[in-house]
Protein backbone atom coordinates (compact mmCIF):
# COMPACT_ATOMS: atom_id res chain seq x y z
CA UNK A 1 0.00 0.00 0.00
CA UNK A 2 2.78 2.45 0.90
CA UNK A 3 4.68 1.54 -2.26
CA UNK A 4 1.63 2.25 -4.42
CA UNK A 5 1.03 5.56 -2.64
CA UNK A 6 4.69 6.55 -3.06
CA UNK A 7 4.49 5.62 -6.75
CA UNK A 8 1.41 7.80 -7.24
CA UNK A 9 3.13 10.68 -5.48
CA UNK A 10 6.18 10.38 -7.75
CA UNK A 11 3.94 10.21 -10.82
CA UNK A 12 1.99 13.29 -9.72
CA UNK A 13 5.21 15.25 -9.17
CA UNK A 14 6.52 14.23 -12.62
CA UNK A 15 3.30 15.44 -14.26
CA UNK A 16 3.55 18.77 -12.42
CA UNK A 17 7.16 19.22 -13.53
CA UNK A 18 6.40 18.43 -17.18
CA UNK A 19 3.36 20.69 -17.30
CA UNK A 20 5.26 23.49 -15.55
CA UNK A 21 8.19 23.24 -17.95
CA UNK A 22 5.88 23.51 -20.95
CA UNK A 23 3.86 26.50 -19.81
CA UNK A 24 4.48 30.03 -21.05
CA UNK A 25 3.24 33.25 -19.50
CA UNK A 26 0.18 34.41 -21.43
CA UNK A 27 0.00 37.97 -20.08
CA UNK A 28 1.38 40.36 -22.68
CA UNK A 29 4.50 42.16 -21.53
CA UNK A 30 4.64 45.92 -21.80
CA UNK A 31 7.71 47.41 -23.47
CA UNK A 32 9.94 49.03 -20.87
CA UNK A 33 7.97 47.53 -17.97
CA UNK A 34 8.90 43.86 -17.82
CA UNK A 35 11.92 41.77 -18.59
CA UNK A 36 11.57 39.94 -21.88
CA UNK A 37 13.88 37.27 -20.52
CA UNK A 38 11.25 36.32 -17.92
CA UNK A 39 8.85 35.39 -20.72
CA UNK A 40 11.23 32.96 -22.39
CA UNK A 41 11.09 29.22 -21.75
CA UNK A 42 12.82 28.32 -18.48
CA UNK A 43 15.45 26.19 -20.25
CA UNK A 44 16.66 29.23 -22.20
CA UNK A 45 16.32 31.90 -19.53
CA UNK A 46 18.20 29.73 -17.01
CA UNK A 47 21.12 29.23 -19.41
CA UNK A 48 21.44 32.86 -20.48
CA UNK A 49 23.33 35.76 -18.95
CA UNK A 50 21.75 39.02 -20.09
CA UNK A 51 22.51 42.69 -19.99
CA UNK A 52 20.27 45.63 -20.97
CA UNK A 53 21.62 47.37 -24.08
CA UNK A 54 20.68 50.89 -22.91
CA UNK A 55 18.29 52.36 -20.37
CA UNK A 56 16.13 53.77 -23.16
CA UNK A 57 16.06 50.49 -25.09
CA UNK A 58 13.79 47.52 -24.44
CA UNK A 59 16.37 45.05 -25.69
CA UNK A 60 18.70 42.74 -23.80
CA UNK A 61 21.88 41.17 -25.16
CA UNK A 62 22.15 37.63 -23.85
CA UNK A 63 24.86 35.00 -23.98
CA UNK A 64 24.69 31.23 -23.53
CA UNK A 65 28.18 29.93 -22.88
CA UNK A 66 29.50 27.28 -25.24
CA UNK A 67 29.99 24.82 -22.35
CA UNK A 68 26.29 24.97 -21.39
CA UNK A 69 24.33 21.73 -21.93
CA UNK A 70 21.87 23.67 -24.10
CA UNK A 71 24.64 23.90 -26.72
CA UNK A 72 26.10 20.41 -26.18
CA UNK A 73 27.27 18.63 -29.30
CA UNK A 74 28.94 21.63 -30.89
CA UNK A 75 25.72 23.39 -31.95
CA UNK A 76 27.63 26.66 -32.31
CA UNK A 77 30.97 25.20 -33.31
CA UNK A 78 32.36 25.71 -29.81
CA UNK A 79 31.45 29.42 -29.62
CA UNK A 80 29.20 31.17 -27.11
CA UNK A 81 25.73 31.91 -28.48
CA UNK A 82 24.64 35.53 -28.43
CA UNK A 83 21.00 36.50 -28.84
CA UNK A 84 18.98 39.68 -28.53
CA UNK A 85 15.57 39.64 -26.87
CA UNK A 86 12.98 42.37 -26.47
CA UNK A 87 9.30 43.17 -26.12
CA UNK A 88 7.54 45.02 -28.93
CA UNK A 89 3.98 46.23 -29.45
CA UNK A 90 1.82 43.97 -31.63
CA UNK A 91 2.03 46.16 -34.78
CA UNK A 92 5.83 46.28 -34.60
CA UNK A 93 5.99 42.54 -33.90
CA UNK A 94 3.82 41.83 -36.96
CA UNK A 95 6.27 43.83 -39.10
CA UNK A 96 9.20 41.85 -37.71
CA UNK A 97 7.51 38.51 -38.41
CA UNK A 98 6.61 39.64 -41.96
CA UNK A 99 10.26 40.58 -42.55
CA UNK A 100 11.42 37.19 -41.28
CA UNK A 101 8.92 35.37 -43.51
CA UNK A 102 10.12 37.35 -46.54
CA UNK A 103 13.75 36.42 -45.79
CA UNK A 104 13.02 32.85 -46.92
CA UNK A 105 13.90 31.13 -43.68
CA UNK A 106 12.64 27.67 -42.78
CA UNK A 107 9.50 28.17 -40.69
CA UNK A 108 9.34 25.77 -37.75
CA UNK A 109 6.16 27.18 -36.18
CA UNK A 110 3.88 29.76 -37.77
CA UNK A 111 1.11 30.16 -35.17
CA UNK A 112 0.91 32.50 -32.18
CA UNK A 113 4.48 31.42 -31.47
CA UNK A 114 6.52 32.04 -34.62
CA UNK A 115 9.85 30.22 -34.92
CA UNK A 116 12.03 30.11 -38.02
CA UNK A 117 15.58 29.27 -38.95
CA UNK A 118 17.13 32.00 -41.06
CA UNK A 119 19.19 31.48 -44.20
CA UNK A 120 22.43 31.89 -42.22
CA UNK A 121 21.41 29.29 -39.58
CA UNK A 122 20.11 31.79 -37.04
CA UNK A 123 16.95 31.30 -34.97
CA UNK A 124 14.10 33.80 -35.04
CA UNK A 125 11.42 33.59 -32.34
CA UNK A 126 8.36 35.75 -31.68
CA UNK A 127 5.52 35.14 -29.24
CA UNK A 128 2.52 37.20 -30.36
CA UNK A 129 0.77 36.67 -27.00
CA UNK A 130 3.56 38.28 -24.97
CA UNK A 131 5.23 40.53 -27.58
CA UNK A 132 8.61 38.91 -26.91
CA UNK A 133 10.93 38.25 -29.82
CA UNK A 134 14.53 37.20 -30.18
CA UNK A 135 17.10 36.50 -32.81
CA UNK A 136 20.24 34.49 -32.30
CA UNK A 137 23.74 34.37 -33.64
CA UNK A 138 24.77 31.72 -36.14
CA UNK A 139 24.68 27.99 -35.47
CA UNK A 140 27.06 25.46 -37.00
CA UNK A 141 24.33 24.12 -39.30
CA UNK A 142 20.59 24.18 -39.90
CA UNK A 143 20.20 20.93 -37.95
CA UNK A 144 22.13 22.49 -35.05
CA UNK A 145 19.69 25.42 -35.05
CA UNK A 146 16.77 22.97 -35.10
CA UNK A 147 18.27 21.08 -32.16
CA UNK A 148 18.60 24.34 -30.24
CA UNK A 149 14.95 25.21 -30.94
CA UNK A 150 13.87 21.86 -29.50
CA UNK A 151 16.19 21.95 -26.48
CA UNK A 152 15.48 25.56 -25.56
CA UNK A 153 11.71 25.04 -25.41
CA UNK A 154 11.00 27.80 -27.93
CA UNK A 155 8.25 25.73 -29.55
CA UNK A 156 6.82 24.68 -26.20
CA UNK A 157 8.07 21.11 -26.34
CA UNK A 158 9.93 19.06 -23.80
CA UNK A 159 13.56 20.23 -23.88
CA UNK A 160 15.44 16.95 -24.44
pLDDT tens readout for residues 51-82: 888 766 678 999 999 999 999 999 999 999 99
Q: List the one residue out of 150, 13, 128, 134 whose CA is nearest residue 62.
A: 134
For residue 116, the SS3 value is: strand
Let me know: does 29 contact 131? Beta carbons within 8 Å. Answer: yes
Tally Cβ neighbours within 10 Å of residue 38: 12
Let me know: does 154 contact 39? Beta carbons within 8 Å. Answer: no
Number of domains in the chain: 1
| Structural domain range at position 104 | 2-152
Tell me, yes or no, whether 59 lies in a domain: yes
pLDDT tens for each residue of 88-147: 999 999 999 999 999 978 999 888 999 999 999 999 999 999 899 999 999 999 999 999
Tell me, yes or no, whether 158 lies in a domain: no
Element (H, E) at 30: none
Tell me, yes or no, whether 159 lies in a domain: no
Amino acid sequence: MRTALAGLLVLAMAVILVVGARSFPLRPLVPGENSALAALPPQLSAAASCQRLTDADDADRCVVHAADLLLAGGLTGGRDLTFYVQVSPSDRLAEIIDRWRAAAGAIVSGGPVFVAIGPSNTVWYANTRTGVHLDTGTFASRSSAQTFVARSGLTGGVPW
